[in-house]
Amino acid sequence: MNYYQFDITFQEVPGEISLCFSITGCKLQCKGCHSTYLWNANNGKPLLKKNYLELLKQYKGYASCVLFMGGEWHKEKLIEYLSLAKQNNFKTCLYTGEETVPKAILNELTWIKTGKWITAKGGLDNPDTNQKFIYLRTNTIHNHLFLKKQHHD
Ligand code: SF4
């Protein structure tokens, strides 16, 4: 499982500071994809367990969530890494372009973002989006967290 980028992010999971890993090998080929460098599974470098655990240790108490941008195509590895995050008291999130992922992955997640990128419909901050941000503990859609506040003055 190769990752292209590691970032600390604040927007993708509202209210959380996330350790974000962008995993390469996405096969969805959404038209208008902003991250085509994620299509080739050979891009980036392997996310080694040793390095991953070091990052979890390093950011424990600062970051609160581990976020994978893709990676569901490495099912067993992703489950293992999400489980390790949980064991270290991190919440977990997956951004996928699929409509859903196997139950064994869902079981390891606090949140999931589902749905392909469709330029005309936009992302989670667009009320017309096809994408869903789901809080899995209650199985409810929380897209409202991404909508910009309306100004009425
Ligand atoms: S799921 Fe994301 S990375 Fe994959 S093709 Fe669609 S927009 Fe690009």
The residue whose CA is least distant from atom 7 of ligand 1 is: 33
> 28-44, pLDDT tens digit by residue?
999 999 999 999 999 99
- The rounded Å distance from CA 48 to ligand 1 centre is 23
Q: How confident is the model at residue 149 (pLDDT cuts 50, 70, 90)?
A: low
pLDDT of the residue at 4: 97
CB atoms within 10 A of CB 8: 12
Task: Answer whether residue 151 shows pLDDT above 60.
Answer: no
Distance separating alpha carbons of residues 10 and 25, to the nearest angstrom: 24
**CATH architecture classification, 2-146:** Alpha-Beta Barrel (3.20)
Share of the chain above pLDDT 70, in %: 97
pLDDT attached to residue 66:
98
Residue 140 has pLDDT above 80, yes or no: yes
Ligand 1 neighbours (beta carbon < 6 A): 26, 28-30, 33, 35, 38, 97, 116-117
pLDDT digits (tens, 9 = 90+) for 2-18: 999 999 999 999 999 99
**Ligand 1 atom, smallest distance to 38 CA:** 3
- 152 alpha carbon – ligand 1 mean position (Å): 35
Q: 91-122: per-residue pLDDT in tens?
A: 999 999 999 999 999 999 999 999 999 999 99
CA dist., res. 44 & res. 2, Å (int): 6
Whole-angstrom distance, CA of residue 13 vs CA of residue 16? 6
What residues are paired with 65 via a beta bridge?
18, 91
Distance (Å) from CA 121 to ligand 1 centroid: 14
58: closest CA among 92, 15, 22, 88?
A: 88
Q: Where are the chain's structural domains?
A: 2-146
